[in-house]
Amino acid sequence: SITRHYTFNIKSHNVTRLCNTKSIISVNGKFPGPRIVAREGDQVLVKVVNYVPNNITIHWHGIRQLKSGWSDGPAYITQCPIQTGQTYTYNFTITGQRGTLFWHAHISWLRATLYGPIIIFPKLNETYPFEKPYKEVPIIFGEWWNVDPEAVIKQALQTGGGPNVSDAYTMNGLPGPLYNCSSKDTFTLKVRPGKIYMLRLINAALNDELFFGIANHTITVVETDAVYVKPFITDIAVITPGQTTTVLLKTKPSIPNATFFMMASPYFTGLGTFDNSTVAGILKYEKSKNKLPLLKPTLPAVNSTSFVANFTKRFRSLANAKFPANVPQIVNKKFFFTVGLGTSPCPNNTTCQGPNGTKFAASINNVSFAMPAKAMLQSYFFGQSNGVYTSNFPANPPFAFNYTGPPPNNTMVSNGTKAVVLPFNASVEVILQDTSILGAESHPLHLHGFNFFVVGEGFGNFDPNNDPAKFNLADPIERNTVGVPSGGWVAFRFLADNPGVWFMHCHFDVHTSWGLRMAWIVLDGPEPNQKLPPPPSDLPKC
Ligand code: C2O
């Protein structure tokens, strides 16, 4: 293994999309940002230099960060932001992971323009557990606003309403020909017949799960969240924000008489408005004639929850001798977390646009997480948690009701900066139950610092007497982001083998902003190699 060096210069540059030019914050003048490429086992150093007025942090989404929590990146959780003119070097080693991940800004809504792929190849002399692709192509989905996304979320949080939705989805930064004046801005993949292309699909969109498909072609799913899966064939993939899915596309044996759209459109079941538009790219066979019919894939309807559930169920770990699934069989810490939307009071002298004149809020176990003013990890490490956070995050919701039935009389959340403290190597089970309080909606929950095994999921209320007997403890999928089904629940397990402070939140940025987030603290173990080392000297200060 080797050390890979990157420099990320955070600057602004002008970008034109949908006939609208604006200045965006980006890395090295690129949108989407540059790729991080490494092999399993490599050390990665990324020197981030902030030249913009905004505070910045970068998160390496899905990287385990074993004992390198100082490099994880969520603002005020593991670090204070990198301020204007400051530099911070993220330093991590890729351990036991291979596949596709991504990096993104992890402060406010800057992820809208600050994101890029992370590609982890197998170790030297190791191969993929599937046919070697002829070419590898990252396809990263995003959302584009004609206005400044920072202004959108700021206004939404002030007035308590839902934020303005994006104006387009993008594929490698390009909206494609179904949007106004965007036919030039179309991602085109030129292919040869009879070859295997590996598409590394990444959903970096802020607020929308996406269906993706290619006209007249199937795809084979081989890896997700940097974990190989038992391959399966599908027409359509579903990818929640925060998930990555690597698929193989086998091209037709000879040049077909058509050109093919690859398209992505949203899956959404909640209340309110959302961006219901479609991004299209083009799959074009080299040397095919110019004027060919352009075929479209059939994507599921926007609220196709059953399609999503059936697709999700097909994911299985390889669970073989080379890639075992080390599912915790016995659990010693159990948590039941309700996740969903709620309300909070409207401040004096404000007209709020949320339900019944309140503000929208979101919570886990009715706690809407307030961001601390200092970084939790430093506070924890130096024993200075006083006034920063408390360690009493509830293991169960404060009241029981029919989570998928009518809303409770009081939909108000409580506020707090609370963490769960776990002993080193605790074996943890978490049930995430959608509350459906302001409408059933799926929530892509992302856990930092770990992969977890998704051992069960279902619709309706989780049944503690009958559902655990049906858990898959043999070959469940291992992930860092899981969609809590709309009007349902999901169960996952993980081993708390990574000391530090780890954020968990909905990867819909609007829900995170409303408070659907919390932190886990994993204590040091007794052995020196089970302890979090002290912070690097250039760690930013608040
Ligand atoms: Cu991809 Cu906490 O985020």
Q: Is the pLDDT of residue 290 over 80?
A: no
Is the bond into 32 cis (omega within 30 degrees of 0)? Answer: yes
Q: What is the DSSP letter of 75?
A: B
Strand, coil or helix: what is 154?
Answer: helix
| H or E element that contains 250 | strand 244-250
Query: Which residues sit opposite 36 in a β-bridge?
Result: 118
Q: Is 1-124 CATH 2.40.50.140?
A: no
Question: DSSP readout, 386-408?
Answer: TTT-BS---SS-SS---TTSSPP
Query: pTM for the full model?
Result: 0.98
Tell how far the Cα of 62 is from the centroid of ligand 1, in angstroms.
8
Query: For 1-47, how does the pLDDT look when each residue is reduced to its tens digit (9 = 90+)?
Result: 999 999 999 999 999 999 999 999 999 999 999 999 999 999 999 99
Q: How far apart are CA 338 and CA 367, in angstroms?
A: 10
Q: How far apart are CA 120 and CA 44, in angstroms?
A: 11
Query: For 440-487, how does the pLDDT look when each residue is reduced to its tens digit (9 = 90+)?
Result: 999 999 999 999 999 999 999 999 999 999 999 999 999 999 999 999
Each domain of the chain, given as residue ranges in start order, spans: 1-124, 130-317, 333-530
**SS3 sequence of 405-454:** CCCCCCCECEEECEEEEECCCCEEEEEEEECCCCCCCCEEEEECCCCEEE
Mean pLDDT of 109-135: 97
Tell how far the Cα of 365 is from the centroid of ligand 1, in angstroms.
20
pLDDT at 330: 97
Q: Which tokens go with 477?
A: 């999928």
Q: How far apart are CA 405 and CA 488, in angstroms?
A: 11
Q: Is the pLDDT of residue 358 over 80?
A: yes
Same fold, 1-124 and 130-317: yes
Instruction: Tell me if 241 CB under 6 Å of ligand 1.
Output: no
Question: DSSP readout, 474-532?
Answer: SS--EESEEEEPTTEEEEEEEE--S-EEEEEEESSHHHHHTT-EEEEEE---SSGGGSP
Q: Which residue has the tokens 């924000």?
A: 241
Instruction: Tell me if 242 CB under 6 Å of ligand 1.
Output: yes
pLDDT at 33: 98
List the residue whose alpha carbon is closest to atom 3 of ligand 1. 61
List the residue whose alpha carbon is closest to atom 1 of ligand 1. 61
Instruction: Tell me if 511 CB under 6 Å of ligand 1.
Output: no
Query: Which residues sit opposite 176 in a β-bridge?
Result: none
Instruction: Tell me if 200 CB under 6 Å of ligand 1.
Output: no
Q: Which fold has domain 333-530?
A: Immunoglobulin-like (2.60.40)
pLDDT at 272: 84
Query: Which residues sit opposite 341 in a β-bridge?
Result: 362
Q: Which residue has the tokens 């929530």?
A: 443
Q: Which fold has domain 130-317?
A: Immunoglobulin-like (2.60.40)
Q: What ipTM is given for this predicted complex?
A: 0.99
Say which amino acid occupies 255. Answer: I
**SS3 sequence of 340-372:** EEEEECCCCCCCCCCHHHCEEEEEECCEEECCC
Q: How far apart are CA 418 and CA 376, in angstroms?
A: 10
pLDDT bin (cut points 50, 70, 90) of residue 289 is confident
Q: Which residue has the tokens 């987030």?
A: 517
pLDDT bin (cut points 50, 70, 90) of residue 291 is confident
* Side-chain half-sphere exposure of 518, counting CA atoms within 13 A: 26
223-227, 316-320, 407-411: range with lowest mean pLDDT: 407-411
Q: Which atom of ligand 1 is nearest to the CA of 111?
A: 1
pLDDT at 179: 98
| H or E element that contains 196 | strand 196-203
Q: Which tokens go with 27?
A: 């890395």
Closest to 288 measured CA to CA, from 328, 242, 320, 257? 257
- C-alpha dihedral (452, 456, 459, 460), degrees to nearest 10: -90
Mean pLDDT of 40-59: 98
Instruction: Tell me if 448 CB under 6 Å of ligand 1.
Output: yes
Strand, coil or helix: what is 149?
Answer: helix
Mean pLDDT of the chain: 97
CA atoms 201, 515, 339, 523: torsion sign: positive
Give the phi and the psi of residue 77 in degrees, each rounded to 5: -100, -60
Sorted by sequence, the CB contacts under 8 Å of residue 232 that are 6+ apart come out as: 220, 221, 314, 315
Closest to 163 measured CA to CA, from 272, 258, 243? 272
Query: Which residues sit opposite 34 in a β-bridge?
Result: none
Closest to 296 measured CA to CA, from 213, 220, 239, 234? 213
Cβ–Cβ under 8 Å, residues 4 and 38:
yes
pLDDT at 271: 83
Instruction: Tell me if 111 CB under 6 Å of ligand 1.
Output: no
Instruction: Tell me if 517 CB under 6 Å of ligand 1.
Output: no
Closest to 167 measured CA to CA, from 20, 15, 353, 24? 20
Q: How far apart are CA 523 and CA 542, in angstroms?
A: 23
Closest to 314 measured CA to CA, from 233, 212, 227? 233
Sorted by sequence, the CB contacts under 8 Å of residue 418 that are 6+ apart come out as: 367, 369, 389, 390, 391, 392, 393, 394, 518, 519
Sorted by sequence, the CB contacts under 8 Å of residue 306 that are 6+ apart come out as: none
Instruction: Tell me if 446 CB under 6 Å of ligand 1.
Output: yes
Query: For 178-205, how does the pLDDT look when each residue is reduced to its tens digit (9 = 90+)?
Result: 999 999 999 999 999 999 999 999 999 9
Closest to 248 measured CA to CA, from 220, 223, 224? 220
Q: How far apart are CA 191 and CA 177, in angstroms?
A: 20
Q: Which atom of ligand 1 is nearest to the CA of 102?
A: 1
Instruction: Tell me if 418 CB under 6 Å of ligand 1.
Output: no
